[in-house]
Structure 1
């Protein structure tokens, strides 16, 4: 009986394979973009190293700017030119409006993430809520004292270290600053004042971005779907448990405060009629409690949204400042030129302010040049919701799209001397870049050779916050201090990357700050 069943199974399998072969000859196949030779089961996985954007860059240089890859069971295309990026992200924006998912993403975000949600009513509602309420100009203006205070605290800390010639872990200090800013905007808690929670929150943020960027064989090779080969499932379940516990306490504490406040107002004891700056958690809880809301949020939605914004606004902004400072240390002439510009515009009496940034074009050019060479998220990932034709090639529905912005930043057809750190390329000058009008390029997603915040509907909603916080922090650090590398590194910062969804430096940046001057307004906030 058993042998008979095995025989039937073999006959069925062989018949299926024969039928598929016949259909493939009788039905015209779709013309996919160029592709390397794939291996059975694993496809092109053997061609990928720990840094996917590096591997894709190498493959694109061999097979062309638009290539097709099969990563296990998952079909992918990789685009590596501004022209293709524009066609895919603008002309066919709705076709590629979805995001890739993984077991880690679904589990850690309660399947309720804004960042990974499909383009639809929920996504549109949260996009509007975040861009208008949390990240709109009015709210960002109200939170200006918080950003200013955090920069002042950082400068004071660095000042103390400089007096003793002590080394500073710049990586950790920048993470503290960005984490303090977004946590106060999200739920009015300055994490550094609760150091145990702060350390846990920063650790969780880093672990989340790391695990989101790792390839899980169980996601992409169907025969391993229920096998935790790499131990990733165990890791992301542990992260989720710790994160959920942290957020549950924060939300519960806030609900208690809201109940107490409602009782006070009901009893007529509230005499304070000043305009209150409410944080994002209160906004979300207002929606949660509103039965007539356009979208009904759950507690899991709130936790997922907080995770979205904490990870997006902590790691990437701190990383961008760190990369920029590292490049300036490695290019002392550029650092001196930037310091001279700040000295000329601001002087050596007060600390730089956000309102000063438009008057510092060289500083802005330095940041653009860093984004070109070290985009915080090196590839934009999308997923097609229908078939699409690009350059006479068909990209089937359900295909993952990777736009390799890291690769575009190193393309000699787009940039002159692409491997050189040269901020002057973004300034008006007689020296013209290969890409015409390069000095007019901004980072808002309209110039496809420079997309640090993405483009279109799915572009980063936090661009306004980042472009206030990032240049002001950097300006304060190089205005008030010179920087010496800690240890025997011949004064040169190691510029290797660490794998992950983002592309941080491989090792923490350890430096000794050397004071240039002490701002007179350091204690004003």
Structure 2
């Protein structure tokens, strides 16, 4: 159906598009074989006129030469005036042309909406061609079919989605955003926090799915603590301890062929959850114990359900507003269970902090929740922040770790270079990670950045326009949801030559000559608004520094101790809100010599 529709549309466009030069002019047409009648008479008349006019022409030329000698100074002034007039006219014409060049929003290319049902049918089960689990393919198809910008309008119950695939335009939108930037809203989460569970959240709804003054007030309270580099560095030691404990789990998980189990991603979830719990609550949840933790398992399942349900609720027809659909019921149940378990531990942390009479001996023993309570005196604010950290800090970090391990396993020469770097900063395999060591691993950071470029855990970001704007030559009205498809743009050869090639050297400030020769694009300048895994500006992820320390610490331990390989040729991902590996993660770990 889609192929036929595209062909019909292309034919209509071709039929109605024409060039002004193709219009038949008087006298145009096929050439004749002989001269028309009366051509000889016309030639004689022309000769007579020419001979009679020749004398007049000579006399006229003599008079013009005399006048030119007299009028030469004035001519120079006239030329200057004429030039200025011409320049002014040209400027006015250019301005008028620039003003008229802005095309109306209705002309933005995109899939044609049908009467009444618009484009919503494309996301519908059975009849729709757009699968929620294949958002990456949808965005790539839009880019291929419509170019730098594509509009998906006519979504019942939802504003238009405007996909922008141009790095410069993305930069312009980010640079011009107001003091309180608005992401495309999540009505389902806003409904949950603002109506269904308003008795708990009240006016403190957190950072996720919140906009305007409430978001600004919450952000101002927490960012001074979370975004300070020194705050994150205080937790290097406990995160190092958790990574070391996870390495013992890896030893236990390997089979006789030195392979990890197929569900290794689930084990990474446990590691990420244990790390978030330690930093935010100063609590060990017991995720890494051999017997496991029932509560940790419930939290992980709730987070996975949340990320599955959100696109189902936000992109399909919002029937959940009329009656509780299956996706809506799963969404509410997951958030309720998640909140109940987390709040139990959050409450215990707050009670322990209140009962503490003296300052802890070590800064790392003060949780993020306790720091927020000490600064603001607002227990509700600290609790909601902890919920946000758990909700978005587990899935993303674990997926980034698994994808980076895969890329290095499939590129042994890059893995060897990383090992050389780690061997230099780690004298022994069991060396402890500290702030100095983390600052001495530029290639490690480059490997993570390159992985997030190729397979970003969040495949798109966006803004809700708060004022009319001109984007890519089109007038875009206020209220439009502008989507930045980082997955597609960061894999566009326009910005990253050989985008399918894993080249961490792209991100190094100074690439050695030998590296530049083997990787021609190693020293290229990266467009700063193409790959934004942690957001940008005032929407920068508040947990970014903690996630980077957590991720770099574990990867350093794995690749310092093991040579990692992956036997399968294909690495399949599932796409909903995040880019989650679906392939068995049975990495083979070969111990390196001590």
Which has the higher mean CA deviation after the structures are superposed, 464-473 or 357-366?
357-366
Give 1:247 deviation, angstroms.
3.0
Give 1:96 deviation, angstroms.
5.0
Unaligned runs of 5+ in 2: 1-102, 123-128
**Distance in 2 separating the partners of 1:102 and 1:510:** 39
**Distance in 2 separating the partners of 1:318 and 1:285:** 28
Give 1:307 deviation, angstroms.
2.4
Give 1:349 deviation, angstroms.
4.5
Number of equivalences: 461
Report the equivalent of 1:506.
Answer: 582
**Distance in 1 separating the partners of 2:104 and 2:429:** 70
Q: 1:197 to 1:378 in 2, by over 3 A?
A: same
1:212 aligns with 2:293: no
Q: 2:345 aligns with which of 250, 257, 260?
A: 250
Superimposed CA distance per residue, residues 363-407 of structure 1 (whole angstroms, 9 cap, x where no aligned partner): 222222111101111100221222222233122222111100101
Q: 1:385 to 1:364 in 2, by over 3 A?
A: same
Q: 1:76 aligns with which of 148, 151, 161?
A: 161
Superimposed CA distance per residue, residues 339-362 of structure 1 (whole angstroms, 9 cap, x where no aligned partner): 233224434444362532333333
Q: How does 1:364-513 map to 2 (within 5 A)?
A: 364-427=445-508, 428=511, 429=513, 430=516, 438=524, 441=526, 447-485=528-566, 491-492=567-568, 494-513=570-589
Give 1:275 deviation, angstroms.
6.3
> SS in structure 1 opposite 2:535?
coil
Q: 1:187 to 1:61 in 2, by over 3 A?
A: same
Report the equivalent of 2:44.
Answer: none
Would you say the 8 A contact 1:414–1:434 is kept in 2? no
Give 1:172 deviation, angstroms.
2.2
Unaligned runs of 5+ in 1: 1-27, 291-296, 486-490, 519-525
Q: Structure 2 length normalisation: TM-score?
A: 0.70
Would you say the 8 A contact 1:412–1:418 is kept in 2? yes
Superimposed CA distance per residue, residues 427-446 of structure 1 (whole angstroms, 9 cap, x where no aligned partner): 4254599989636x4xxxx8
**Distance in 2 separating the partners of 1:402 and 1:352:** 42
Report the equivalent of 2:22.
Answer: none
Report the equivalent of 1:91.
Answer: 176
**Distance in 1 separating the partners of 2:573 and 2:545:** 26
Query: Which has the larger Rg?
Result: 2
> SS in structure 2 opposite 1:394?
strand
Report the equivalent of 2:369.
Answer: 281
Report the equivalent of 2:46.
Answer: none
* RMSD over equivalenced CA pairs, Å: 3.1
Q: 2:232 aligns with which of 117, 135, 140?
A: 140
Give 1:177 deviation, angstroms.
1.8
Q: 2:207 aligns with which of 114, 118, 132?
A: 114
1:189 aligns with 2:316: no
1:48 aligns with 2:130: yes
- Structure with more contact order per residue of length (Cα contacts < 8 Å, sep ≥ 6): 1
1:58 aligns with 2:154: no
Q: 1:336 aligns with which of 416, 421, 427?
A: 416
**Distance in 2 separating the partners of 1:253 and 1:222:** 38
Would you say the 8 A contact 1:372–1:406 is kept in 2? yes
Would you say the 8 A contact 1:365–1:426 is kept in 2? yes
Give 1:107 deviation, angstroms.
1.1
Would you say the 8 A contact 1:95–1:384 is kept in 2? no
Report the equivalent of 2:187.
Answer: 102
> SS in structure 1 opposite 2:160?
strand
Which has the higher mean CA deviation after the structures are superposed, 461-470 or 176-185?
461-470
**Distance in 2 separating the partners of 1:377 and 1:243:** 21
**Distance in 2 separating the partners of 1:273 and 1:201:** 29
Q: Structure 1 length normalisation: TM-score?
A: 0.78
Superimposed CA distance per residue, residues 78-114 of structure 1 (whole angstroms, 9 cap, x where no aligned partner): 1112111101112345585344122145316857131
**Distance in 1 separating the partners of 2:184 and 2:593:** 48
**Distance in 2 separating the partners of 1:85 and 1:405:** 10
**Distance in 2 separating the partners of 1:375 and 1:178:** 17
Q: 1:331 to 1:352 in 2, by over 3 A?
A: farther
Q: 1:356 to 1:60 in 2, by over 3 A?
A: same
**Distance in 1 separating the partners of 2:296 and 2:419:** 32
> SS in structure 2 opposite 1:68?
strand
Give 1:142 deviation, angstroms.
2.2
Give 1:460 deviation, angstroms.
1.4
**Distance in 2 separating the partners of 1:274 and 1:348:** 29
**Distance in 2 separating the partners of 1:137 and 1:155:** 26
Q: 1:222 to 1:115 in 2, by over 3 A?
A: closer
Superimposed CA distance per residue, residues 18-58 of structure 1 (whole angstroms, 9 cap, x where no aligned partner): xxxxxxxxxx9754522221123443341523222321221
Report the equivalent of 1:170.
Answer: 264
Q: 1:259 to 1:356 in 2, by over 3 A?
A: closer
**Distance in 1 separating the partners of 2:254 and 2:583:** 22
Report the equivalent of 1:236.
Answer: 331
Would you say the 8 A contact 2:165–2:484 is kept in 1? yes
**Distance in 2 separating the partners of 1:174 and 1:493:** 22
Report the equivalent of 1:7.
Answer: none
